Amino acid sequence: MADRRSRARRVGVLGLQGDVSEHTAVLAGLGAEPVVVRRPADVAGLKALVLPGGESTTMSFLLASSGLDAELEKMVADGLPMLGTCAGMILLSTKVLDGRPDQRCFGAIDVRVRRNGFGRQVRSFETDLEVKGLDEPMHAVFIRAPVVEETGPAVEVLAEVEVPGQPGTRRPVVCASGPVIVSSFHPELEGDSRLHELLLREVEGD
Ligand code: GLN
């Protein structure tokens, strides 16, 4: 029975580059069946997809060379539930500023992001965030993180952060739209499974 239940929650983790094993560990801990996705054949039967943190330019290049770009386009068009963290958020956005000219984004959520947008002085920082819908704050680790500069009308901002060094300037760092959730930071590095739980709820249609 347990096996049948986990198969019902077969969740892909884009495995071309980045913190893939951290996401598979979180998903396995939640009783889902994580599947590392490296080739088009790996997407069969997925109920959701996680796009990890790492380097969006490299992932974009490898998506094209592996042929997974077309599969990702289809999954976005089909409305598959997705979670993108950091570089994964960049890949799911509608517009990337300060990206490489040839880097792609797949428009799963209507956010415009600026790569490495928290500024040179503040390449990395950590903070505790209030996230809408979660009881306890989430410890957030930002590593050369993208800044969300604009959100479309369908996007719900679940958490914001004050930009370090810019008192009063707040930016969205967790956003959701339909079955897609993105964060500028890496909950998986902390072993925090709560955004993954939200993703699995989308799978179950809760
Ligand atoms: N700066 C990276 C990029 O452009 C994202 C960093 C991260 O995922 N920690 O993809």
The DSSP secondary structure of 35-102, one letter per residue, reads: EEE-SGGGGTT-SEEEE-SS-HHHHHHHHHHHTHHHHHHHHHHTT--EEEETHHHHHHSSEEESS-TT
18-53 b/e with 16+ CB inside 10 Å = b?
A: bbbebbbbbbeebebbbbebbeeebbeebbbbbbbb
Residue 4 has pLDDT above 70, yes or no: no
Q: Is the CB of 144 under 6 A from ligand 1?
A: yes
CATH of the structural domain 2-204, one choice from 3.10.150.10, 3.40.50.720, 3.40.50.880, 3.40.50.300: 3.40.50.880
Return the bridge partners of 176, or none.
Answer: 156, 181
Catalytic residue among 86, 105, 196, 202: 86
Q: Measured from the CA of 59, which atom of ligand 1 is nearest?
A: 10
In this prediction, residue 6 has a pLDDT band, given cuts at 50, 70 and 90, of: low
Q: Measured from the CA of 56, which atom of ligand 1 is nearest?
A: 10
In this prediction, residue 17 has a pLDDT band, given cuts at 50, 70 and 90, of: very high
Spans of all domains in the chain: 2-204
Helix, strand, coil share (%) of the chain residues, nearest 5? 30, 30, 40
Residues 95-108 have a mean pLDDT of 97
Q: Is the CB of 148 under 6 A from ligand 1?
A: no
Strands ordered across the beta sheet of 95-97: 95-97, 111-114, 147-151
206 Cα: distance to centroid of ligand 1 (angstroms) = 31
Helices 20-29, 194-204: axis angle to 10 degrees equals: 60
Residues 108-127 have a mean pLDDT of 87
Q: Measured from the CA of 90, which atom of ligand 1 is nearest?
A: 10
Residue 86 a catalytic site member: yes
pLDDT at 1: 47
Q: Is the CB of 182 under 6 A from ligand 1?
A: no
Classify 175 as helix, strand or coil. Answer: strand
Mutation pick for ligand 1 pocket among 143, 186, 188, 189 (CB with most ligand atoms within 8 Å): 143
Return the bridge partners of 125, or none.
Answer: 142
Residue 190 a catalytic site member: no
pLDDT at 165: 84
